[in-house]
Amino acid sequence: MSIRNPTCVLVGASMALLVACGGSTPPPEPPKPAPKQVVAEPPVPAGAISRRKLEAVLREGPPWVLSRIPVEEVMEGKKFVGWRLQEVPIGWDEVDIRAGDVVTSINALPLETPTDFWAAWTTLSVASELKVNYVREGEELEVSIPIVGAPNPEIGEELAKERKAGEDAAPESPVPGNQTYADPTRRGTIVIRPDEKPLTDTLVDWSN
């Protein structure tokens, strides 16, 4: 649950304690624990992305991104080409990626199947840059965005669990005994167990 106004919560709790104690002298406060050492994040130069902000997006999972950036499959005959971006976030103004561009790979990894997509997604937890290859009006282009900050090993472990859960998940069938299971090697069948955490609990500034 997201606490939008911690001051109101603190005041309400204080009033409840006063009523319960009947105005008696409060007991002495226990000694405060030593503050934890906070490691300052290195400054993020223009054209780069903060590791902390990237990890916040990775924690939300691919559905969080795909719900904000609609894509469509692009084929040449029977050959898969990539995914056309139908829209891009406003905060991407400084990045040379536009609606209509066809993304062919991320960090040199293909995106044809759900397995490919997950592989590219999970490598971002340790990558030092986000490199996107795409096609615009027949021209092959590439954009590279440095990732500033040290990787958090816990993120990689979380993503590995989510990937395993997605591969094991199957859609529910209204007819018992007639369940169908998604093939993770087939295009267009990305099966990912959604995160129940509210999106409002994750603060991501797409403008940087």
pLDDT tens, position by position, 45-79: 888 899 999 999 898 887 777 788 899 999 999 99
The answer to whether the beta carbons of residues 204 and 59 sit under 8 Å apart is no
In 124-176, where does DSSP find H-type helix? 153-168
| Whole-number Å distance between alpha carbons of 142 and 83 | 15
Q: Which of 63-72, 75-84, 141-150 shows the lowest mean pLDDT across its residues?
A: 63-72
Nearest to 171 by CA among 189, 153, 188, 197: 189
Residue type, 101: D
Rounded average pLDDT over 185-207: 43
CA distances in angstroms from 67 to 26, 132, 183, 199, listed in the order given:
50, 19, 22, 12
3-state secondary structure of 7: helix
| Whole-number Å distance between alpha carbons of 20 and 69 | 51
CATH topology of domain 49-169: Pdz3 Domain (2.30.42)
Q: How far is CA 157 from the centre of its chain?
A: 14
Model pTM above 0.75: no
The answer to whether the beta carbons of residues 50 and 208 sit under 8 Å apart is yes
DSSP classification of residue 69? S
Residue type, 27: P
Chain mean pLDDT for the chain: 70
